[in-house]
Amino acid sequence: SGRFIAEGKLVVERLLASRYDVESLLLSERRLALLEEFAVPDATPVYVIAEEQARELTGFNFHAGVMACGLRGSELDVDDLCASLPPPTDGSAPRGSLFVACPRMTDPDNLGSLIRLCRGFGVGALLLGHGCCDPFSRRTLRVSMGNAFELPVIESPQLQTDLLGLRDRYGFQLSATVLDGAALPLESVRRQPREILLLGNEADGLSEDWISLCDRQLTIPMSAGVDSLNVSVAAGIFLHWLQRSG
C-alpha cells in the first residue's frame, strides 16, 4: 500500500520532521496536548478518540497514545545516492562513505537496532536484500526510535548486482563479517575510503556465496567457547572500530 505506521511520541515527532509525508495522525484523548508540541502540517487530518476506541481500532493496547500513518514515497536509487558522495582525498574516508549491507536479516528488533547504530556511527546507507524484514514495520521503527526516517535505506531485489556495481563503478571495497580464525582480526584493519560492511543472518551468518563476493573478511576475536555475538551487538563493534580507524 506504500504506507507505514509510526507509533509513540518520539517516532511520530521524527516522522513529522522528516522528508516523508504524513497521511494522518491518531491520538487518544489523554495525549491531546501533544498537538502543541508536534509540527503537524495544516492539511494533515488529526483524529482524536477515546482510549477504549483506540484499542478496538488498532487491535492492541494503545499505551503510547499517538500514531501516524506515513507514506513511503519513491524508492532510493544506488546511483543517485553515490552521486552525492564526497570524493576520497589522501586515502581518508569521508563521513557517509561507509555503507552496511544485509542480505537476510529477518528479526525486526535486530534490524531496528542496526538502523539506530548506523545513524549513530555515520553510516551513509543501509542496503537490504529481499530476504530482510520490513525496515518500516511498526516494530522496527519503534526499536530504531525513528532513525529510519533519516538513514537512506535501499531495499534491493538484486543486492548482489548492486554491490558489484558499487565496487566496479564507485570504488567501494566489500568486507564480510565472519566467524573465522583465519579472517583479519578487527583491531588490525583500517577502514577503506569507500567500504561496504556485509552482515549475516542472525542464525546462520553470511553464506559462502556472499563471503566469496567480498574483498576481505573481518572477525571479532573472542574468548574460547563463545561462538558468536548478537548481530546488532557485533555490528556496533565493527562500526565503532571502522569509524575510529577511518
pTM: 0.91
Confidence at 173, pLDDT banded by 50, 70, 90: very high
Neighbours of 58 (CB within 10 A): 14
Q: Can you give the pLDDT at residue 82?
A: 87
**Under the phi-then-psi rule, with left for phi > 0, alpha for psi from -120 to 50, and beta for the rest, what region is 151?**
beta
List CB contacts of 90: < 8 A, sequence separation 6 or more: none
Neighbours of 154 (CB within 10 A): 18
CA angle 6, 11, 14 (to 5 degrees): 115
DSSP 204: T
List CB contacts of 207: < 8 A, sequence separation 6 or more: 103, 200
Residue 50 near residue 29 (C-beta atoms within 8 A)? yes
Topology (CATH level 3) of domain 3-71: 60s Ribosomal Protein L30; Chain: A; (3.30.1330)
47-91 residue pLDDT tens: 998 877 877 777 667 778 899 999 998 888 888 888 878 776 655
How high is the mean pLDDT of the chain? 91
Q: Can you give the pLDDT at residue 11?
A: 97
Separation CA 153–CA 162 (nearest Å): 13
Whats the size of the chain, residue-wise?
Answer: 246
Judge: domain 78-245, CATH 3.40.1280.10: yes
127-139 residue pLDDT tens: 999 989 999 999 9
CATH 3.30.1330.30 positions along the chain are: 3-71
List CB contacts of 233: < 8 A, sequence separation 6 or more: none
Q: For residue 48, give the 3-state DSSP assignment.
A: strand
pLDDT at 42 over 80: yes
Q: In 84-230, which ranges are continuous DSSP H helix?
A: 108-120, 138-144, 159-170, 208-213
143-157 residue pLDDT tens: 999 999 999 999 999
Beta strands in 118-215 (DSSP E): 125-128, 153-155, 173-177, 184-185, 195-198
Single-letter amino acid code for the residue at 60:
F
Residue 244 has which C-alpha cell? 575510529
Separation CA 165–CA 147 (nearest Å): 27
Q: Can you give the pLDDT at residue 206?
A: 95
CATH 3.40.1280.10 positions along the chain are: 78-245
